[in-house]
Amino acid sequence: MTSRPGADHGLFGPDSVTWRVLSEPVMWIAGVRAMYMQALHPRVMLGTWQNTAFAKPAEAWGRFTRTVEFVRVRTYGTTAEVDRAGARLRKVHSSLTGTDADGARFRLDDPELLLWVHCGEIGSYAEIARRSGVHVTSAELDAFIAEQRRSAEVVGLSPAIVPASLAELEAYCQRMRPRLRACAEARQALRLSFAPRLPIALTPLRVVVPPVNVLAYASLPRWARRLYGTPAIGLTDAAVTLALRAAFESTTRIPPQLLIRAGAADARRYRVPAA
């Protein structure tokens, strides 16, 4: 994409690693992987489950599409658009609470929860980009993670507490592992994800979504799959990486009309050729 002089590219822009990474359709696998990772924090999962009719397909899909739209605006929107989207999200989160199994209440805008959601998302983008063959180096993935501290600020986090490199992200995940588990709601959401009931408008995706979700799940680290109770699913890590590379090559040929239906219209427009 050619940048117009004085154009407002919001948080990132054509020279960012963010635009290069997130313009790839294979990142849809990363988005699903992120949800599986995020659900391993019990309070994140309970807060989502209790404030959304997650088991109802129409409402669950509505939440998913709103998340996709937020990521689109955060990534490609103007400064004003990002500010408005962030303000709306922070207002919603500030008004919502959840309840633990022991009856303890918690706020959905708790920084610990926001940070885990952020890292689950950004870490998934980086992992899928690395394993699928997106044209980025390790240094560029470090730059991507550092750029995403701006995204963290949009939801209300201080950039100072957000990992800024692959090493910092891995260290954070290691620190969090004792707090993680797959609660009953996370296991049920996982089961539902493999046989989703999609809106009529997205009927063409019915043959695509189940294998995408399986691949997203298989790309989780082994310790995460163990928490879900399914450490082995018939695919080695090497086989998953090969499948991700095949997905990257094939998704570059997805018809733009189908991406538009699925809510990914802008990603193709903002694709930045690899250097």
Residue showing tokens 């538009």: 260
0.85 cut: is pTM over it? yes
Residue 275 is predicted with a pLDDT of: 39
Report the pLDDT value the prediction gives residue 206, as an integer from 0 to 100. 65
Which H helix or E strand runs over 107? Answer: strand 105-107
Query: What pLDDT does 266 receive?
Result: 46
pLDDT at 202: 61
Q: Which two tokens stand for residue 45?
A: 């999962």
Give the Cα separation of 209 and 212 in Å (integer).
5
Give the Cα separation of 15 and 242 in Å (integer). 29
Neighbours of 153 (CB within 10 A): 15
* Residue among 31, 76, 75, 29 at smallest CA distance from 248: 29
Q: Identify whether the C-beta of residue 245 lies closer than 8 Å to the C-beta of residue 230.
A: no
Cβ count within 10 A of residue 200: 5
For position 209, what pLDDT does the model report? 76
Count CA within 13 A, CB hemisphere, residue 206.
8
Tell me the C-alpha distance between 59 and 44, whole Å.
18
Do 82 and 74 meet the contact criterion of CB atoms below 8 Å apart?
yes
Cβ(129)–Cβ(30) under 8 Å?
yes
pLDDT along the chain (275 residues), means of 10: 70 96 94 96 95 67 82 96 97 95 95 98 98 96 98 97 98 97 94 74 66 92 93 78 92 54 46 44
pLDDT at 147: 98
Beta strand 97-99 with 105-107 is antiparallel
